Structures are given as structure tokens and as C-alpha cells.
Chains A and B, each alone.
Chain A
Amino acid sequence: MALDKLYQQVILDHNRSPRHYGRLEGATHSARGHDALCGDDILVELRVADGKIQEAAFSGEACAITTASASMLMDWLVGRSRSEVALEHAHFAQLLDDPELPDRPELGAINHLRAVSGFPARVRNTLLPWRATLQALERQQ
């Protein structure tokens, strides 16, 4: 059932042991992703050099879906440029909106999170780390 798909092993595993979790020393960019309504509150920190993200980390407290999404995203971010992140964010938002679309290879494991499209109330959670990342990239620390 849809619930098992949402809380599938890959997602639960990222929630239990999130990758790139903690503060990032030497971060050049950062932004807070806060969703007061449901209590998600994360900090995304990035180290950018030569126009590319060299390191990414997140910290804070959030639900399983936000945490898994942040964990997967941080993994994916390394080596990407701002414009790539913006482009894939747009694609990802579209994928969440339309379950009929095929997976997007560029997004790799993040495609697993498409299971949230059956849970409209949770789409916001999934996109929160992306929004924080984009916000971070827009401003220098």
C-alpha cells in the first residue's frame, strides 16, 4: 500500500542514519529551512568553491520525510552548481506533482521520494531541504 511505499526502507534508513548530518565547518553558504506549521526546522550549510558545491551538510530537527529528503539531497549536491540545483528542483517539484512522469535519472536515489505524491500534505516536507539549499546559494555567508 501507499503507506509502505512512503515509509519504504530506503527512506527510513536515511531517517535513522541521515548522511551529512551535523554542522559544516568552513561553510560559505547557509540557510534555515523552517516549517512552523509542522515543526520542521533544519539548517543547510554548504561550502562552495569554483562555482560548485564542495561539501554539504544539514542539522536540526524534522520529520522522517524531511530528514530523508535532506539526507538524500546533501548526498546529491556535492559537485553541483547553483543552476543545476535550480533546474533539478524544478524537475523534482514536477515529478512530485505528476506520478505519471518517468523517473528522472539525474536525480538518482531522490526518485524514491516520489512516493510522497500520494500524500499531498507531505510534499511540502520533501521540498523544504531543496528550498533551504536554493536560499543558501542565493546569499553569501
Chain B
Amino acid sequence: MDIVESKVKDQLDVFALREQFPVLARRVHDEKPLVYFDNAATAQRPLKVIEAMDDFYRRYNANVHRGVHQLSVEASEQFELARDSVRRLLNADSVREVVFTRGTTEAVNLVAQAYLRPRLEEGDEILITHMEHHSNIVPWQMLCEQTGAVLKVAPINRQGELLVEELASMINERTKLIGMVHVSNALGTINPVEEVCRIAKKHDVPVLVDGAQATPHMAVDVQALGCDFYCISAHKMYGPTGIGALWARESILEDMPPWQGGGEMITRVSFEGTTYNDLPHKFEAGTPNISGAIGFGKAVEFLEETGYEGIVWQEERLLEYATERMQAIDGLEIIGTAKHKGPVVSFTLEGAHPNDIGTIVDHYGVAIRTGHHCAMPVMQFFDVPATARVSFAPYNIRNEIDIFLEALGKARDMLA
């Protein structure tokens, strides 16, 4: 089956969008068109990102914030422009509030170690939700081991929705931080972050949001959300791997001690003592991922040019169509049926293990994710060892869903 779809210019020109992603033209396994449905694991990169990173290495590769020479000045300029793009993406007040990290995981670890650790006493509590990615569980567990604090988990329902009232009732004077995912990678659930932040504020408890799966799909305004920390990864939102950001309010960051020591994060070093650099550099020890940051900035520009309106429109259509068609399949169960959902469909199919489904549909050119999706407590809650998951990006089209469903049918016939 070939990939065809009519253009709908008003909202989004999907074909023009696809043109920007060279990998989508690839053919796999005996010339089958690639159907890339593993966007929640990592999205593809548009030319704009690839070319900007290439351009950096070809024309002005140099270290940042160090040299007086022209290349270093250009590299520093582009690096800081990228930071401003991330600031715009999150509607942050100032670039001083945007710290580049290796990704969401590192951002969470930074907050755990530099913000929360010095404030924790034995018996204090950290509250997270049952649908967190391992990256928003394990750093807190490690912190609990280090300090004697206790990890508490707010429950979810069978649809995969957070029980906000239960969460609210679990907040007490020992609660020192709430960590929650904005959009669940395993279930697709979009959480009511604003509501949780409002509740947390009444108790004076800071909220950290794992936004890795949110920025690819929706406009995020950290000020409107009312959170205290927001963590993102570039590669989920069409940028490169190995770079992400932590946003936190300036007053909080000012109060935090540095996390890692090294170059870049200092203003003066002697053996008697060291003074630390200003925000955000205080938290960026060592030569940063310069090309990554530049690519990250271009990914933000890509999202701005494409527009969230069109992205949401296309993704909602795909989600609706896939859900409708998949629900009609005998023995197929969709895991995660929240009312507010991102473009993710996790599922199990009777008589077919997710691993085998993944291998078989791959042979028909369809790339999907199978396994625990780095959210093993979610698998335990739904009592499944693993799920298969399709996740969409705005460059995906309905016809690809048909190809996937045909391949899924073959998988089922083969394994039956």
C-alpha cells in the first residue's frame, strides 16, 4: 500500500510538513515505505534542525563563553539564542531561568540533588503519581535512600487518569515536593497540572513537572501552569538527543547551590575558594552540548512555524481514527483511555505478545514500541507484562494507520 492522503491546507499542509523530514522518505524491509509510529520514544528531526547543527560544525565550531575570536563569539551567540528560544517555548520570564541539561532525566536529578536534598529531613515526603516515567521515580527513590525521606504515590483510575482529590488528601506538612508527568508516555493521559499546582500552592509545596511528552504536542506556559520546575527533552520535540532543559523560577535557582563543579559554572577559582557563576551558568559545568543546544533552538522555531493549532488538529484526527479502528478489533484492549489524551495508543492483543507484534509489524515497515515504556508501575497497575504502543506526530497520516492495521492483522493471523 502506498502512502496517500489529501491535503488539508487550512489547518496543516501535512505533505509540505513531511517534506521537511528526510527520513520519512525511507524504505525499509524490501522497499516498504517507513511508517514511523514511535514518536513518543523519539520524534524525527526536520531539515531545519539537521542543517543548523551541520552548519555549526562546518562554519563556526568553537567553544562558548571562552574565546575572544570570531568563531567563539558566533558560537556563544547562537548558543544563547537557542536558550532564548527555549524561554519563548515555555513562556518563561528570563533566560536566567533556563538551564540546559542532557534531557528531562538530568533536569529531574538536578532538582532532586541541588534543590530538594539540602531541604529534606528523615520522614519528609515526596509525592509523585502512579503514572510516572522511571525518570520521575528513580531520582526520588535515590534521594529517599540518601535522606530517609519517604516516597508517596498518588493513585490513578482504570482509565489511566490521576485521582486529583486523592492526591490532594495525601499532601501534609511533611510533603516537600510533588513530582508529576504532564503527558504520560505510556498511557497518553494529559494531567491537570494547573489544578494540582493550585492545590499545592495552598500547602506551599513546590511542583516539578515532567514535560517531556507535552512540548511536542501542546503550548506550554509555565507561568500559567503555576509550577515551580518544568523539565523537557529536545529529542521528543523534533530536536537532537542529549539536550534538554530545566526551567525554574529565578528566586528558586538563586537559592540553590550548584550541582556539578567544573569550568563554565565559576567566576573565580583559587585554592582558597571559588565563586560561582551567575544563572543559569551556575548549573552548567563543563563545555556544554553546543550543537545540541543550537538544534534544540531550531526545533523550537520549527514548532513555532508549524503552529500548535495545526499540530493538535492533525494529531487529534489521527488519535480519533486509530482509537476507533482499534477498538473494533476483537481481543484488542487499549490501555489508557483518559478523556484528555495525547496521540498515544498503548494496547494488548489477545494471543499475541507485544514483542511478536512489534517484530511482525516492523516487517511491514511499521515502527512501533513494545515493552514497559519505562513505566513499569503502570504495567503493574494494569496487570500486563508489556504493551505495544503507537504514538503519532503531525507528519503521520491516516493512510499509515491503515498500513499499521493491516500489518497488525497479519501479526494476529500469523500467531493465531
Genuine A/B complex: yes
Is B240's CB within 8 Å of the partner chain A? no
B414 touches A7 (CB 8 A): yes
> Whole-angstrom distance between the alpha carbons of A65 and B384 in the complex?
18
Is A38's CB within 8 Å of the partner chain B? yes
Q: B interface, by DSSP: helix, strand, loop or mixed?
A: helix
A63 touches B363 (CB 8 A): no
Q: What 1/0 mask marks residues of chain B from 14 to 32 whose CB sits below 8 Å from any chain A CB?
A: 0000000000000000100
Q: Which one of A7, A37, A121, A122 contacts B372 once the chains associate, using CB atoms below 8 Å?
A: A37
Question: How many A-B pairs fall under 8 Å by CB?
Answer: 54
How many chain A residues have a CB neighbour from B under 8 Å? 23
> Whole-angstrom distance between the alpha carbons of A63 and B363 in the complex?
17
Most chain A CB within a 10 A radius of its CB, from B356, B360, B379, B415: B356
Q: Which one of A1, A6, A36, A39 contacts B359 once the chains associate, using CB atoms below 8 Å?
A: A6
Is A132's CB within 8 Å of the partner chain B? no
Counting contact residues on chain B (CB < 8 A from A), the size range is 10 to 19
Q: Which one of A7, A38, A122 contacts B386 once the chains associate, using CB atoms below 8 Å?
A: A38
Is B152's CB within 8 Å of the partner chain A? no
A63 touches B360 (CB 8 A): no
Q: How far is the CB of A108 from chain B (nearest CB, A)?
A: 24
B371 touches A39 (CB 8 A): yes
Q: Which residues of chain A are within 8 angstroms of B30 by Cβ–Cβ distance? A: 1
Q: How far is the CB of B64 from chain A (nearest CB, A)?
A: 37
> Whole-angstrom distance between the alpha carbons of A41 and B371 in the complex?
12
Q: Which residues of chain A are within 8 angstroms of B384 by Cβ–Cβ distance? A: 39
> Whole-angstrom distance between the alpha carbons of A125 and B354 in the complex?
13
Q: Which residues of chain B are within 8 angstroms of A61 by Cβ–Cβ distance? A: 353, 385
A119 touches B372 (CB 8 A): no
B371 touches A37 (CB 8 A): yes
Is B376's CB within 8 Å of the partner chain A? yes
Closest to B354 in A: A39
A15 touches B363 (CB 8 A): no
Q: Which residues of chain B are within 8 angstroms of A122 by Cβ–Cβ distance? A: 355, 359
Is A12's CB within 8 Å of the partner chain B? yes
Is B109's CB within 8 Å of the partner chain A? no
Is B370's CB within 8 Å of the partner chain A? yes
B386 touches A39 (CB 8 A): yes
Contacts A/B (CB < 8 Å), 7 sampled? A39-B371, A39-B384, A41-B385, A61-B353, A63-B354, A63-B355, A65-B355
Which B residues contact A (CB, under 8 angstroms)?
Answer: 30, 353-356, 359-360, 363, 370-372, 376, 379, 384-386, 414-415
Which A residues contact B (CB, under 8 angstroms)?
Answer: 1-3, 6-7, 12, 15, 36-41, 61-66, 119, 121-122, 125
With A38-B386, A122-B355, A122-B359 already in contact, 13 other A-B pairs whose C-beta atoms are closer than 8 Å: A3-B360, A3-B363, A36-B372, A36-B376, A38-B370, A38-B371, A39-B353, A39-B355, A39-B384, A40-B385, A62-B353, A63-B354, A66-B355
